[in-house]
């Protein structure tokens, strides 16, 4: 993925500006090549909202489990995240037609789907959440407890939560660091776009039950790490792997709160105990100082393992 593509290398699209001097409304809505990035982003978000409402209405008609009606569960989260992902993909599909761009430039090229980068990311994700938990335990803040599941239930929930967090990783990475990152970066540059969108990513998580400001700050930092992986690998498949595996490890494997929620169907009867700076308090390890430490170390390691790519030219706003 080229987050700041050279506009000269892209074909003309239905969003190309009308002929004539760039003044008045033309200057407000178009740059020298196409509709300005802010308007394209608003179109995308509007399309996403419309398609998500349609998908939600369909799930209600089909009487599928809803987060609001049955609380937090793997099936209800799966329905919600699948609806969000479908809406995000369909909206981006419309934008590919309007912008005359291939879908893959928005961060999820089909050629890399669930390939080496994804599995590398999954290993990093498991390693990162394991490091967080072991650091908390080293300071006396985590106990594994006994098994909460056995037999068929254990393997069933393990697979179900894997599927849930695969959808979570795909949706959140594509929505915040796919189309949005690609589009905003064309106008303001990759890292300013990354900072702004990661801030939005953290802020939106404050709507989660049990989240607090420290947890939201942690989400911002993690979002910036995901942007780093996008910059260095060229697409989102590594970030999707990290995101899905980290959330799965947190929620199912180590069975700790995620944004204050201990989801049903977790592996262990584990417990957190100690000061909030260590355990994250009711939010969980997401708000622990150990998460900040681990993400910082992971960023340093990632920079060393994955070399930087040449900076592409930036388009006009």
Look up tokens 């894997």; give the residue: 162
pLDDT in tens, 22-79: 555 555 655 566 668 888 999 999 999 999 999 999 999 999 988 865 457 899 999 9
Q: Is 291 in contact with 276 (CB distance < 8 Å)?
A: no
**pLDDT score recorded for residue 118:** 97
Give the phi and the psi of residue 116 in degrees, each rounded to 5: -60, -45
Residues sharing a CB contact under 8 Å with residue 301, sequence separation 6 or more, in sequence order: none
Q: Is the pLDDT of residue 152 over 60?
A: yes
**Residue, of 71 and 317, whose pLDDT is higher:** 71
**pLDDT score recorded for residue 73:** 87
**pLDDT score recorded for residue 221:** 97
CA atoms within 13 A on the CB side of 39: 15
**pLDDT score recorded for residue 16:** 59
The burial class, CB within 10 Å (0-12 / 13-18 / 19+), for 155 is: exposed
Distance CA 133, CA 190 (A): 32
| pTM (predicted TM-score) | 0.88
pLDDT in tens, 275-309: 999 999 999 999 999 999 999 999 999 999 998 86
Q: How far out from the chain centre does Cα 64 lie?
A: 24
* Token pair listed for 315: 């388009």
Give the phi and the psi of residue 97 in degrees, each rounded to 5: -70, -45
Q: Is 315 in contact with 13 (CB distance < 8 Å)?
A: no
Partner residues linked to 268 by β-bridges:
147
Domains in the chain: boundaries:
10-305
**Residue, of 212 and 250, whose pLDDT is higher:** 250
Rg of the chain in Å (alpha carbons)? 21
């Amino acid at each position: 993925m080229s987050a700041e593509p050279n506009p000269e290398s892209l074909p003309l699209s239905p969003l190309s500006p009308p002929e004539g001097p760039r003044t008045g409304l033309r200057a407000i809505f178009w740059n020298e090549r196409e509709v300005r990035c802010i308007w394209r982003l608003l179109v995308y978000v509007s399309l996403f909202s419309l398609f998500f409402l349609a998908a939600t209405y369909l799930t209600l008609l089909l009487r599928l489990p809803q987060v609001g009606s049955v609380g937090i569960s793997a099936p209800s989260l799966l329905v919600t995240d699948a609806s969000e992902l479908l809406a995000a993909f369909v909206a981006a599909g419309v934008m590919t037609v309007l912008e005359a761009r291939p879908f893959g430039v928005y961060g999820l090229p089909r050629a890399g789907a669930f390939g080496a980068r994804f599995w590398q990311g999954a290993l990093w994700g498991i390693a990162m959440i394991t490091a967080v938990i072991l650091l908390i335990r080293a300071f006396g803040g985590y106990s594994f407890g006994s098994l909460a599941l056995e037999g068929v239930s254990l393997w069933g929930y393990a697979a179900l939560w894997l599927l849930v967090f695969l959808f979570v990783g795909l949706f959140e990475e594509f929505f915040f660091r796919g189309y949005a990152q690609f589009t905003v970066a064309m106008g303001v540059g990759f890292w300013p776009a990354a900072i702004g969108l990661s801030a939005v990513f953290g802020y939106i998580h404050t709507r989660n039950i049990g989240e607090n400001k420290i947890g939201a700050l942690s989400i911002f930092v993690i979002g910036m790490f995901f942007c780093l992986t996008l910059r260095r690998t060229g697409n989102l498949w590594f970030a999707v792997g990290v995101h899905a595996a980290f959330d799965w490890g947190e929620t199912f494997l180590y069975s700790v709160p995620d944004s204050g929620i201990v989801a049903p169907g977790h592996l262990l009867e584990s417990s957190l105990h100690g000061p909030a700076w260590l355990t994250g308090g009711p939010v969980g390890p997401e708000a622990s100082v150990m998460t900040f430490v681990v993400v910082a170390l992971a960023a340093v390691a990632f920079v060393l393992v994955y070399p930087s790519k040449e900076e592409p030219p930036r388009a006009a706003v």
